[in-house]
A and B are shown apart, each in its own frame.
Chain A
Amino acid sequence: MMLTLIVELKDKPGQLIKTLEPISKLGGNVIGIVHKREKITPLKKIPVEISLEIEESKIQRLIDALKENGITVREYNQVRLVTTSSLLLIGHIVHTDISDTINRIDSTGFAEVVDLHINMPQLNGPSTALITISATGKEKLKEAIELLINICKEKGILVVEPINEEFL
């Protein structure tokens, strides 16, 4: 589950660690950190936006742990993955490091590989994968698909795109 978290940190050393520690303890994976120095609060705290990947069941424990560490959690929300698209990949999918391909989609922060179905016919032959990507919105989905196409071009994999809209 993708999560964005906005915490308010005092402008002094060691603050960020206090935030990151509980995340890593709970098996979360930080994808991005943005300091919003221009939005400094009247109490001189700096809002920091953290995007991360974490199991859904652990979100509440994370929030509690952060509060115990004295961190102000201003808001958090699960990133809603609202649109989904499936694409077919044909080629040397595994040899070209499928986990790297997935990681590069997941680390966008707005899209995620939610399903992957691989068929490997024979050793050294091309394999096929149906990859399903979810994203936070239509435009973001397009962006993620564009990214996937570029990654696959780099790796010499053919991408069979969906025809998009269903027939009305």
Chain B
Amino acid sequence: MIKIAIIGFGTVGQGVAEVLIEKKEYLTKVVGDYKVVAVADSKGSITGDFDLNHALKVKRDKKRLPDGLTALEIVKNLDFDLLIETTTTNIEDGEPGLTHIKEALKRGKDVITSNKGPLVVSYKELMKISKKNNCNLLFEATVGGAMPVIKFVRRCLAGNKILSIKGILNGTCNYILSRMEKEKMPFKQILAEAQELKIAEADPSYDVDGIDAASKLVIVANALLGIDAKLKDVKITGIREITPEAFDVAMEKGYTIRLIAEAGNELKVSPRLIPLNHPLVLQGTLNALQIKTDLAGDVVVVGKGAGKRETASAIISDFIDLYANQTINFI
């Protein structure tokens, strides 16, 4: 029996809980029996023997979980095998996720996370702790949401030397730029529209100034290129200064503009001119990466970078990756 603690019970935490219920039969076949033994948000928790559906209902109705053990008490003391860490991202010091993940790893518990903060701040240290304690830290959901990247490169491109990785790691910026390209409207206007559609946050700076994309790039650089990179190593330029006229001029010559994160000789996130027929020219909130390798040449992945079920997809794939005790029968 795999005992699971879900810490952070917002969009992603709830999405994962829903899929664990919805696909119970299938997942049990693949990984064996499992049970969620704790869920926690910033205010409270439910632990022990409880109905996960009930916990979801409580959270939806009351907007919070009832008083109970704190998240920290759970990761430090409760009996579980797997921590699913989906608390809020904090790229300054990684907290609260960093402490949650460290404590679990120190106890030899496996961790799956969608939270970029701890990895951006302490990738190397966390990997060291997991190795030392003979447990795993998986983080597919931190980069590109549902778009397969980490396991895709590590598994499917195994044996290749990865020369560079570049692409679109922020759906909000891609939405804004692709709308500017089509509508020829100013940045501010499209941003307001994106905020209305909840594609952009009320404070959009994390996205439009390139910081979110840079955070994901740091994880990619560490995990796939073996570069001991931190956020300060990324040269970052955002998209606020891009004008509609810039698209006119670019398009006359067969180019458009996208915010591209690139890890190769250097790490940078910046708006780039890109030929209109290039596979990284995408519309809307899609994410994409172009992986340059020595054997396979160029490989491109495209997918949804965010969303409740999309992000749950990445977490569930890590879950299966970690515990599948048989070859999955793909039919």
A residues touching B (Cβ–Cβ < 8 Å)?
86-88, 90-91, 117, 119, 121, 125-130, 158, 160-163, 166-168
Contacts and interface: CB of A to CB of B under 8 A. Distances in A.
A33 B278 CA distance: 43
State the main secondary structure of chain A at its contact with B: strand
B273 A117 contact: no
Interface residues of B, number: 28
A126 B243 contact: yes
B93 interface: no
A126 B241 contact: yes
B279 interface: yes
A130 B300 CA distance: 28
A78 to B, nearest CB: 26
Nearest to A132: B253
A130 B298 contact: no
Contacts, number: 74
B248 to A, nearest CB: 6
A115 to B, nearest CB: 9
A59 B136 CA distance: 70
A158 B279 CA distance: 25
Contact of A160 (B248, B273, B280): B273
A117 B254 CA distance: 13
Given A167-B298, A168-B297, A160 B271 contact: yes
Interface string B134-172: 000000000000000000000000000000001000000
Nearest to B248: A119
Contact of A128 (B166, B237, B246): B246
A80 B249 CA distance: 27
Given A88-B249, A117-B252, A160-B273, 10 more contacts: A88-B250, A88-B257, A90-B242, A119-B248, A125-B243, A128-B245, A130-B252, A160-B246, A160-B257, A160-B272
Nearest to A85: B273
Interface of B: 166, 237, 241-243, 245-246, 248-250, 252-253, 255, 257, 260, 270-275, 278-280, 290, 297-298, 300
A129 B274 contact: no
Contact of A119 (B249, B271, B275, B278): B249
B300 to A, nearest CB: 8
Contact of A161 (B245, B270, B278): B270
B290 to A, nearest CB: 7
B290 A119 contact: no
A72 to B, nearest CB: 45
Question: Which residue, of B245, B257, B280, has the highest number of chain A Cβ atoms within 10 A?
Answer: B245
A162 B274 contact: yes
A95 to B, nearest CB: 15
Contact of A158 (B237, B249, B298): B237
A148 to B, nearest CB: 13
A129 B249 contact: yes
A86 B290 contact: no
Contacts of A121: 243, 245
B255 A86 contact: yes
21 contacts: A87-B273, A88-B249, A88-B255, A88-B273, A90-B246, A91-B241, A117-B253, A121-B245, A125-B243, A128-B246, A129-B249, A158-B237, A158-B241, A158-B271, A160-B257, A160-B271, A162-B272, A162-B274, A163-B166, A163-B278, A166-B278
A156 B241 CA distance: 11
Contacts of B271: 158, 160
Contacts of B280: 163, 167
Contacts of B248: 119, 128
A119 B297 CA distance: 38
Closest 9 CB pairs of A and B: A162-B273, A163-B274, A128-B246, A128-B249, A158-B241, A128-B245, A163-B272, A130-B249, A119-B245
A117 B253 CA distance: 10
B246 A166 contact: no
